[in-house]
Structure 1
Amino acid sequence: MQSSDKTDEKRWLGRFSNIDAITGLCVLAVFLFGIAAAFSSKDTRNLTVVADVPIYYPVAPPEAAPAPSDAADKLAPEAAPQPAPAPDQPQAKQLANSSPAFISLLGDDRLEASYYLSQSKAPRDFYGGRWAPENIESTANGTTFSVKKEGNTDVPFSIAEASTYKRYGYGRYEAIMQIGKGSGLVSAFFTYTGPYFGDPHDEVDIEFLGKDTTKIHFNYWRNGKRGKFATFDLPFDASEGPHLYAFEWLPDRITWYVDGVPYYASELNDPFIPKTAGKVHFSHWTGIPKMREWHGKPDFGTEAVTTVSCSSFTPMGEDKRSCSDVYKEKKNS
């Protein structure tokens, strides 16, 4: 009886040994299959090395975090770390017609040397006033862009806009601006090209509404189609002093900055990222009555001013003097 028990015991132990061996082989096979599948996947974004300081989107300043506005345009992309380019990825090419780096200290530099001043005799499109070159002036603090009441029923307002003669592509765009305050006003810093120039409508924007200058708006367009725009609260009132605003437009992503802090970015490889070099624009305007639901009824007195004291462009992959340097120098002084 005892001998039989020992035989059964050996038999059961042998079975468990076989089961353990089979289980181990199964686990090893699954592990090897997972590795093979990962490396054979066409989408290798999850395998790339994350940058030393990963950026998550939307991005908020560490101290006073801007929350997305309660407005209808709360379309921030889901949070995702920004991957670094793969080592074997070819360097992205600059867009055709893109010009070299520049920096303009507006107020000191003669604006007309680099910028075209928009001009019209009457309101057109969705703009509620005539473009008036005389509403752009150089001052000790920078170049002012004024919106004025005209007292004319047909032309109730005069508005201001300047755009570069040259076109610019991938790189970092910066401006130091103090925004005009008052319901009905729109201040904008953006790149644009479109059918007027024989191009698709491509655009990257930073916009402010004078009715609430504690908010900032980010937009982008490709071939007339709008990407995922967003509105953020600022930790300051943009009408009370100059601040540094910027966006970095790259082939696979656009990132927007306020005072050097990243606030928002498009999704990686978003199909709405522009692909055509455009002109740099600054504008200050009020719209036709249909636009008042967005920017408010004009109620800013007889004149309101947006001031731009610096504008710069640094091409992708280059390191040039920019408005960031000017802003730091002014703060330090």
Structure 2
Amino acid sequence: MQNTDKIPSTRRNTAGNDAFVLSCLVAVCSFGIFTISRIDTPRSIETIIAASEMPAPAEQAETEVAVVAPDPVLDAPAPPVTAPVASRVITLPPPSRARARLPSAPGFITLLGDALNDAFFYRSDYSNPTGHYGGDWAHDNIGQSAEGTNLSVRRHVSRSGPYTGGEMKTRKTYGYGRYEVVMRPAKGSGLVSSFFTYTGAHDGTAHDEIDIEFLGLDTTRVHFNYYRNGRRGAAATFDLPFDAADEDHLYAFEWTADGITWFVDGEPYYKTVEGDAFVPKTPGSIVFNAWTGKPGMAGWHGKPTFESGASAHYSCVSFSPIGEESRACSDLFLPRRHHKTAAQTAQLSIQPSY
């Protein structure tokens, strides 16, 4: 009987080698499966595809230059956004009309106590034989002091009548904007003190005009008046809470395509109605004067009993074009405020058309 407890050594070695080989195969297979599973994951595949399709740096640069060119329309810079600017003007026209313009000289301010600029102002010195004025304009009736300019009315026989008056006007013409004057009218029956714009036949245009007027007969009232093509609009008279002849005050009117608003010491007093057909449309000279009329005017301004040499005083005149901020008389003159707006008391129905 064969003894099975004794196994030859060669057989034992073969069995050990088989076990080692089997272990190696298992290890190799496990490593292969692990490697294949890493390669087959979606993330790894996407990364490989992206890397394979990515152009070389030089090719990428050439593609950008050739394809990504600036478009003159799409790539144009956006327009700047401008914040609204507050305006110091009390009343503003609607935005659609605020842009309306008339030919106009630039804005200005003049302190009439300074040396008078003859290149800027014309000092009237001529006769008025056919007009409503009761005498000539005399250069000598224009006086100057440190406080301003005085325009006098004198009982002096002239070519046009028994009086002479004083007048100044700009050599240039002005359109839509704000007109301001600091003045003190002459006091005395028969006297008229004015600040206004004017253009007419002498300038080769229609008669257009906007007025601020004072009658020396009663300087506690102010008169507002306007014309277009020689036809007068709805003129009005207002009581003032002061006597205008006692001290300087600030008077103004604002003229736009929509109408006219008049101010006293910065407060609105009167405004034309919407669509008023008599609002002027022609640029004019700025004029200020002191005068008395022919005998037929006495029913309006009173019998001329004034003292010879009585004068109206003007210390500042300014113009600011519509929509622009420029230095004005109101920036310098600080009047005593009167918060009560006077009521309209009369229409100037007897005012002559001139």
Q: Which residue pairs with 1:92 in the alignment? A: 99
Whole-Å Cα distance in 2 between the matches of residues 313 and 294 of structure 1?
30
**Aligned partner letter, 1:230:** A
Provide the secondary structure at the position in 2 that maps to 1:217.
strand
Q: Which residue pairs with 1:273 in the alignment? A: 279
**Aligned partner letter, 1:157:** Y
Distance verdict in 2 for CA 1:223–1:84, change over 3 Å: closer
Aligned runs of 1:299-318 on 2, under 5 Å?
299-318=305-324
Please, which of 133, 146, 153 is the counterpart of residue 147 of structure 1?
153
8 A contact 1:245–1:257 mirrored in 2: yes
8 A contact 1:92–1:251 mirrored in 2: no
- Report runs of 4+ in structure 1 exceeding 6 Å deviation: none
Provide the secondary structure at the position in 2 that maps to 1:276.
coil
* Percent identity for Structure 1 against Structure 2: 52
Residue 247 (structure 1) aligned with residue 256 (structure 2): no
Provide the secondary structure at the position in 2 that maps to 1:293.
helix
**Aligned partner letter, 1:127:** Y
Whole-Å Cα distance in 1 between the matches of residues 213 and 230 of structure 2?
18
List gaps (5 residues or longer) in structure 2. Answer: 1-89, 338-354
**Aligned partner letter, 2:202:** Y
Please, which of 308, 325, 328 is the counterpart of residue 331 of structure 2?
325
Offset of residue 271 of structure 1: 1.1
Offset of residue 85 of structure 1: 2.0
Offset of residue 124 of structure 1: 3.8
Cα RMSD over matched residues?
A: 2.1
- Structure whose alpha-carbon radius of gyration is higher: 2
Offset of residue 93 of structure 1: 2.5
Distance verdict in 2 for CA 1:321–1:302, change over 3 Å: same
Distance verdict in 2 for CA 1:322–1:122, change over 3 Å: closer
Aligned runs of 1:208-219 on 2, under 5 Å?
208-219=214-225
Q: Which residue pairs with 2:194 in the alignment? A: 188
Whole-Å Cα distance in 1 between the matches of residues 155 and 252 of structure 2?
30
TM-score, with structure 1 as normaliser: 0.71
Q: Deviations over 1:46-66 (max 9, x none)?
A: xxxxxxxxx9xxxxxxxxxxx
Please, which of 151, 170, 173 is the counterpart of residue 179 of structure 2?
173
Aligned runs of 1:1-333 on 2, under 5 Å?
85=94, 89=96, 91-96=98-103, 98-121=104-127, 123-150=129-156, 155-328=161-334
8 A contact 2:136–2:159 mirrored in 1: no
Whole-Å Cα distance in 1 between the matches of residues 282 and 128 of structure 2?
30
List gaps (5 residues or longer) in structure 1. Answer: 1-54, 56-81
Distance verdict in 2 for CA 1:185–1:84, change over 3 Å: closer
Offset of residue 184 of structure 1: 0.3
